[in-house]
Every structure is written in structure tokens, then in C-alpha cells.
Amino acid sequence: MTEHAASFLELGPRTALAAEAGTERTERWLRATLTQATGLPLAPGGADGNDVIRLSLPADAARDLGAEGYRLSVTPRGVDLAGGGPAGLFWGAQTLRQLLGPDAHRRAPLPGRRWRLPQVHVEDSPRFRWRGLLLDVARHFIPKEGILRQLDLMAAHKLNVLHLHLTDDQGWRIEIARYPELTRTGSWRARSKFGHRASPLWDERPHGGYYTQDDIREIVSHAAERHITVVPEIDVPGHSQAAVAAYPGLGNTDVVDTAALTVWDTWGISPNVLAPTDATLRFYEGVFEEVLDLFPAQAAEFSAFVHVGGDECPKDQWRRSPAAQARVRELGLADEDALQAWFIGHFDRWLAARGRRLIGWDEILEGGLAPGAAVSSWRGYAGGIAAARAGHDVVMCPEQQVYLDHRQAAGEDEPVPIGHVRTLEDVYRFEPVPPELTGDEARHVLGTQANVWTEALEDQARVDYQTHPRLAAFAEVAWSTLPPPEQRDYADFERRMADHYPRLDALGVAYRPPGGPRPWQRRPGVLGRPFDGPPPNR
């Protein structure tokens, strides 16, 4: 980027917005967002003349920058924003908004503000295609408005995949019309553990909620307007107690009184898993049929993906279940681990037959995968390395590096401290591509994702605190081609973060301040599970 420091372009009531064919989505977003923040009308205008913001999709930008790249020039004549594709144009609009200053991120104009853009030339494009954020809405429900807000925050950080963790032991969060008990029963629990599962504290209020099908359609549409793909996760065959509580026949009825189960009220891994029966398969095929309708495969690159979980499935009930053991023998399987691989493989084939792609946590590698399936590598880097070497696409989200629910500092004031310390600098030095991979293997790394699990995050303020400002560091890692971790200029990043904190303030984000939590962000006396020392890097 080049900048003429003393030169600015001032926007005013006569500034026009000229949009060429194909740029309509960014035009709508830019006019709506900047008009509410600045009060300027940004009336439609011709591309000729001065005092014009011009949006275009020229062929040379597509060739030189790729579909998500953009070129932004601010001169005395006006603003020229060219995208390599519609998504690139939108990311360029985010940069334009940033250059206008933090008040451009507000929802109403403040009196007396001048709107000046530095005269700059920017050419930019992302390193990774998948720049993701996982939100766990199963443990603590995030209402629809909160999801729409998170999508806006993702867009401001140029992230393009929202992985929505919709089901777990503690709650089922998506309406399935043919199975109404999934939300009638499965979306509410009687109480919640407060803090880590070893905590003696309880929140005795019922907790729950779910998204109607129209809510989901709105979320998907809101995301698409911002060039974000929503990837749904329906967790099978473990992490399924909420589903079994709603429909007891889904569980291992020959070894457990599944009719007595309720939606789980604590954290961890429930022993109550799905039964590996044909009836269970048919039930979840019905679930996935509605999920595919709500999350259609569109032009967006990753919209064909459906996440099936596949992680942390205890096998004790299967070992004790005569029905499960009969299935092992019937299929000629070696053991219960192979039975889980068969279960996942069924949905791998079922989704592929409908033009979709299965993605799951790295446990799904155990037992083999179909060629089109992809892996979310969470148990460190090893799963991603194994998947890439086997020819599977990978999203790197190693727990000890980019689980943002983990604590940000070692101080006693950190609220509900979980895991190893992962500071802002630690996240900035995260490298998604393992050095062990060859060039051909590394091409299977679709990108990277930060995960926000909500066992200890009971509301939006706690999600904000854990996610920000580390999401800014993660976003830079996901977007920019940076030097090796030890060579990255963290001092320069800190300098630029001084400009970013006011943007977060304007957006109403309850982030962790650089000096530590504010008094109301602390949770004194609420037990966490901190680990000392540096985290494993493998």
C-alpha cells in the first residue's frame, strides 16, 4: 500500500456512488452502511467526473488478484474500487470503511464529523480460501440477532465461513419440521453448570432456544449478502444426548433407559450416543434432508459442505449393546471404532449422492474416508497432516492454538480460565500450514478457522470478551501472507491494533482490553480448568 500522508479526499453530500453491472450486492451494503454512519446520501451517479466512488469488476483484476482480491485507489478524482470478483469487491469495501475511521462503524452519524479518505493505492488478496469462525450455539444459545451481529463482525474482519455448531448433548438448536420434539424437548435444559464441569456452581434457570427454519433462511441470506458461507454442523454419533432425550429410540435402548434421559445440564462428553441402527440412519437422513434445503449449495465455494461432527464418541454403550455387537458382526467389522467409521461413511456416501461434501472433526479419519470428504483438524496438527497426505482437504483449527474460549492471560482476574494461555501475540504467530507438508500436500489446506466453544461463555458479552481482540490477529493470519511465526512484526501489529480498538468500540464489542479485564468482565470464584506452561505444538 502506498499513501500520500498529507493528501486526503473529503466525502460530502455531493459524493456519488457509481456501480457497474455485477456490483449490486456491494453497492447495497456500502450505501446502507456508510449512509447510516455518515448521514451522506451517496446517491447513484455516473462513473465520470470527480467526487465519485466507483465500483467495478474489471477483467484484469480477476486475472491479477483472483476472485477475492481487490484494488482500491483514492485520488483527488474520487475512489476507484475494483474487485477480482463480487467477493473481492466486498472485501475492498471493508477496507474503504476502515480508512474512513472508527466512526464509520457506527449506526448513526455523530455531529461535526468530517469524512476523509487518505489518498492511497491498495492491492490485496487473501492467502487462504477458508477463513472461518466456529460458533457453538448448542451449549449456550445465541439468539438470531446475535448471529446476525456476529456475521457483521466477521465481515469487518474479512472472514468468509461461519461454522455453526447446532446440536450437542446440551441442546438442539435447529427446527426440523418432521421431528418437532427435537426442538420442543431437545432445545431446553433444566439448568446449566456455571464454569467448568468440576465447578460446584449451577445456574438454576432453564436455558435454551432454537432457530426456526425461517430464522435459518434469514441467517443464510444475511451471510450471503456479506459473502460468508454458513456451514451447519449436526453432530453424530456422539454428542447426541439432546436428540436421544427428544426421541429415546435413537439411543441404545437395550443397555440404557433412554426414556429417562433429559437434555444434559453439564459439560464434557456424555456417554449416551446414537444407536447404530437402520432406524437411526433413516431418522438422520430425514434431518439432513431438511438441513440441505435450509443450507442450499450455491455459487459460494464452500456451500456444498455439511459438518457431521464425528468427534468424541464413547463406545462403552456399543460394547455392552447386543444390537450394536450384532451390527459389528453383520458388517464384518473389527471393532467399535470401525462401527463409528461405518456410521460416518454412510452419511459421507449419502451426502455425496446429493452433490454435497461431508466435513468432520479429525476422528473421522479413523477407519478411512471417501475421497471427497474433508477434515477439521482440531486435535493439534496431526490430523490435518494425515488428512492432507491421504489426499483430503483440511481446515486447520488446532485446539491449543486457535480455540478462543481458552484463556488470554495467566492472571487471576481472567474469567473462568480454560486451557493454556493464548495471548493476542500467540494467535498472531499461529501458522496454519504445518511445515511437514510438501507443496502438493499443503494445497489440501483449504484454510483455517478459530473456534469459540460456549460451555463457559454464558452470554454475548462473554463471547465478545473471549473472541476479541484475538479475532483480529487470527483474521490477519488467515488473510495475509506473513513471514514465519518467529519473524512476524508483532510490534507493528500492536501499533495497528491501536487503530482497531476504536472500531470495536464503535461496533459495541465487549473485547478484552490490552491491560486486562474490566471489573464487570471478571468472574471471581467461578472455577475454570487452566493448564500451565506452553501448549503442545503438534
Question: Active-site residue numbers?
Answer: 168, 239, 312
The grid cell for 358 is 461431508
Q: Determine if the peptide bond prior to 469 is cis (ω within 30°).
A: yes
CA atoms of 217 and 293, how far apart (whole Å)? 10
CA atoms of 394 and 382, how far apart (whole Å)? 11
The grid cell for 41 is 446520501
State how beta strands 161-165 and 445-452 pair: unpaired
Residue 10 CA, chain-centre distance (Å), reads 36
Q: Phi-psi category of 67—alpha, beta or left, where left has phi over 0 and alpha has psi -120 to 50?
A: alpha
Inter-residue contact 269 to 317 (CB < 8 Å): no
38, 40, 46, 52: CA torsion to nearest 10: -50
Residue 170 CA, chain-centre distance (Å), reads 20
**Cα distances (angstroms) measured from residue 52 to each of 10, 76, 77, 89:** 11, 10, 7, 16
State how beta strands 188-189 and 171-172 pair: unpaired
Please report the beta strands in 473-517, taking only residues with DSSP state E, as ranges in sequence order: none
3-class secondary-structure state, position 137:
coil
Handedness of CA 428, 430, 432, 438 (dihedral sign): positive
The one-letter amino acid code at 524 reads P
Inter-residue contact 344 to 299 (CB < 8 Å): no
